[in-house]
Structure 1
Amino acid sequence: EQGRPVPEFKINAQFLELYNEEVLDLFDSARDMKQKPHIKIHEDASGGIYTVGVTTRTVSSEAEMMQCLKLGALSRTTASTQMNVQSSRSHAIFTIHLCQVRVCASDNQESENETDNKVSNGNSEMDEYETLTAKFHFVDLAGSERLKRTGATGDRAKEGISINCGLLALGNVISALGDRSKRASHVPYRDSKLT
């Protein structure tokens, strides 16, 4: 292990807002709130979820990561209600993608024909690399609202209803995952973009 190179890390961040069931990019400073966003949510072959059309920022330090978080938070949709002077009107999802590339322990028993994931190190040897990835989602959920208490009308009422629907969908998913009998039949992930 001493002769192996130090693993390489790559860290990326994305910051999304779910506002009235629309996914918005909080890193996109040129976004137009009047225009429908072009962000798509997809599922890969192994069941993982990924987004298309989202700004990804590469960061190399904790300070850069915090700067990204602050920058995106400034773009969140907020408004005043009877309950709060500045109330978030959306759910926010800050995602960190972590990728590590490292050299695997060499196995002298391997066939010389197996060169997948191998790179020459210049010493007529081939090093095999493995890539490890992780994804962390940090979610700030908007609080549930009773329209009567907030005094919301018009757009504020529409936002409150959307917030409550997303929270209900999340609660239903958690309930289904916690109930063994429901988990085998159906987990309602597609009831909201939040889930």
Structure 2
Amino acid sequence: MSKSVDNLVWHEATITKADRQAKNNHKSCLLWFTGLSGSGKSTLANALDQVLYNNHLNSYVLDGDNIRQGLNQDLGFTDADRVENIRRIGEVSKLFVDAGTIVSTAFISPFENDRQRVRERFAENEFIEVYVKCDLEECEKRDVKGLYKKARAGEIPYFTGISSPYEAPSQPEIIVDTANETIEQSVEKLVNYLKGKQIVR
């Protein structure tokens, strides 16, 4: 650990996470959407966010592309940069959860060890891994952003699923199969999970 960190002392907040959850009338958590590019992570996260918003719940979506245009604009797509990308967003997500918010993150987050390290930063039932399952062939057919075509042509190095590996979750809390489920069915599954865990009513 660096000397700069050694000289820091955590300052406890006057208003606690429990205080904020009580005010919001719901618990806070992180829904971590992981899956290949084109699997539907951002679409699902935003569809869920709309439902939560319509029900007057405090929620927010942190999208991988958006975060890389600001907070993580200094990072590329090498394995080391991907690790740091996920570490940073895990810390930001923890701040949202501490603030009493239901936060959804839409990141490929290809490495299981990285996702596990984020999980370990959260209390029990606060980290909800959502595996957005969709095989590579279907994702390539969609190719909404034209990225697979560029990756196949060698124009994008370190592209997950093509020139960089994706490690599917071994024990996710939720699996949504976007090749066989409608958005509405997947969102209903997510909401039912949150209700079942008494995060929302």
Relative contact order, higher structure (CA 8 A, sep 6+):
2
Q: Which structure has the larger Rg?
A: 1
Shared fold, TM over 0.5: no
Shorter-chain TM-score: what band? under 0.3
Higher strand share goes to which structure? 1
Which protein is richer in helix relative to its size? 2
Report the TM-score when normalising by structure 2.
Answer: 0.23
